[in-house]
Structure 1
Amino acid sequence: MLSTWVLVQLTYMAMSIAAGLVLFYVTSQAGRSEKKQQLEESVSLIVNFILYIWAGKIVLNIAVFVTDPLAVLAYPSDANAFYIAVLLLLVNIGYTVKRHKKDLNSILSALVPIFLGSGFVYEFIEIAAHDNMLASWHLGLFLILLVVFLFLRERQVPVVTSGFVLGLWSLGQFILTFQLPYTALYGYTLSRWFMVLVFVLSIISLYITNREKPDKGVTEHN
């Protein structure tokens, strides 16, 4: 029964991620070759993120994993494994940008619409398949974020758009914690401290990006 539940959840996630990839491909203004490269990089990061979740689950249940590995692998991941995966993904992106000289704007311009599209479809599935009306609040939040993203994507660089969208998402999720019994992302129940952390990091990224703009202008003028 548990393995069936895990399989169903993986199917939902696959459908959601596929929708996110489609949203990126449709909304991206990049050329075909560049979009293909961005898709490949994004899929690689998504696969790594899933592996990081499994790694986090193993680390958090290492004693059980040593005695019965299948029991840990078949059991659903919790929010702590998700937090570990997010941290490792950020390290992964930072390493990719610094070591392989990848453009952060290029990475974010793909990951943000994938995140929004997959999140929207996942919440829609929750409502359609499980009649989970709590998901309608999250669905509404993602709908607002999609509108904001579509408005900003041609007016701001991806770093600014990403910071604004993630900041708005974390603020919206934080507000929902006072309206709902719990808030979740991809089925993972999130804590308020995580939303506050995401919001603060988003504000910091926007501040740094905005502060660097005048410096670049002075440099170019000189």
Structure 2
Amino acid sequence: MAVASKLTSLGIIVFSVALGLLSYYLMNDQSEKQKKKHVEEVISQLVNFVIFIWLAKIILNVGVFITDPLVVLAYPASSNAFYLAVLLSALLLFYKAKRKQLDMRSFMETSLHTFLVASFVYEFFQLVWNGDEYAFGYVSVLAVLLAVYFLIHGRIGRDRLIIVMLTGWTAGILILSTLQPFVAVFGYMVEVWFILLFYMISLGLHIFYQRKRGYNGN
């Protein structure tokens, strides 16, 4: 029963992300070659993130892993493992951007679109299918963010769009954290300090890329 529940949850995540990527591909007006490249980069980073999740589980439970590795690998990842995986992913993105192996602005734009759509689909499943009452607040926040995103997309510069949506998502999560016992992102409970750190790291990466490209404010 537990295995079936885990597989169902994983299936919902995969389905949600797939819809997010498909939505980006269908709604973006760039060339087919560019869209394919951006989607492939996001998928590559998602694969890296999954690897980092497994690595984080091992690092945080190294003593148990040495004696019984199967226990650690079979056990669901904790929020701490999720935090560490996000940090490792950020470091990898910074490294790739610094070596000009990644177009950070395009990656963040693609990731933002995918994340918002995938998160909405995932949380909607949690609300309707699993009856998770705490998902309602996050679904509402995501619905507002998606409405704003599609309303202003193409009307303001990509850099400003990314900053507006990052700030809006962070503000929404912080407000939710004061209204309910916890907030979960794809099933992982997130603390206020992590949300603020994630916002600063994301904004820092974006500003770093802007300066590397000689950002002129447009």
Fold conserved between structures, TM > 0.5: yes
Superposition pairs for residues 56-205 of structure 1, below 5 Å?
56-201=56-201
Is the CA contact (8 Å cut-off) linking 1:160 and 1:206 kept in structure 2? no
Deviates more, 1:208-217 or 1:156-165: 208-217
How far the C-alpha of 1:215 sits from its partner, in A, is: 7.3
Partner of 1:33: 33
Cα-to-partner distance string for 1:141-185 (whole Å, 9 max, x where unaligned)? 111111122133213333332222122111111111111111110
Deviates more, 1:161-170 or 1:150-159: 150-159
Distance 1:160 1:175, change over 3 A: same
Is the CA contact (8 Å cut-off) linking 1:2 and 1:75 kept in structure 2? no
Is the CA contact (8 Å cut-off) linking 1:6 and 1:74 kept in structure 2? no
Partner of 1:220: none
Is the CA contact (8 Å cut-off) linking 2:177 and 2:192 kept in structure 1? yes
Distance 1:210 1:72, change over 3 A: closer
What residue identity is the alignment partner of 2:175? I
Q: Distance in 1 between matches of 2:215 and 2:39?
A: 32
Q: Distance in 1 between matches of 2:97 and 2:205?
A: 16
Percent identity of the aligned residues? Answer: 34
SS at match of 1:178: helix
Q: Distance in 1 between matches of 2:35 and 2:210?
A: 27
Number of residue pairs matched by the alignment: 217
What residue identity is the alignment partner of 1:174? L
Partner of 1:14: 14
Cα-to-partner distance string for 1:74-113 (whole Å, 9 max, x where unaligned)? 2111111111111111122222222244321221121111
Q: Distance in 1 between matches of 2:122 and 2:105?
A: 26
SS at match of 1:136: helix
What residue identity is the alignment partner of 1:27? M
How far the C-alpha of 1:204 sits from its partner, in A, is: 5.8
Q: Distance in 1 between matches of 2:213 and 2:90?
A: 24
SS at match of 1:25: helix
What residue identity is the alignment partner of 2:38? Q
Q: Distance in 1 between matches of 2:134 and 2:126?
A: 9
Cα-to-partner distance string for 1:52-89 (whole Å, 9 max, x where unaligned)? 11111111111112222222122111111111111111
What residue identity is the alignment partner of 2:136? S
Q: Distance in 1 between matches of 2:215 and 2:125?
A: 46
Q: Distance in 2 between matches of 1:169 and 1:79?
A: 19
Q: Distance in 1 between matches of 2:95 and 2:31?
A: 25
Distance 1:203 1:46, change over 3 A: closer
Partner of 1:3: 3
How far the C-alpha of 1:46 sits from its partner, in A, is: 0.8
Q: Distance in 2 between matches of 1:68 and 1:208?
A: 42
TM-score (norm 2): 0.88
Deviates more, 1:128-137 or 1:200-209: 200-209
SS at match of 1:130: coil
TM-score (norm 1): 0.87
Structure 1 unaligned residues grouped into runs of 5+: 218-222
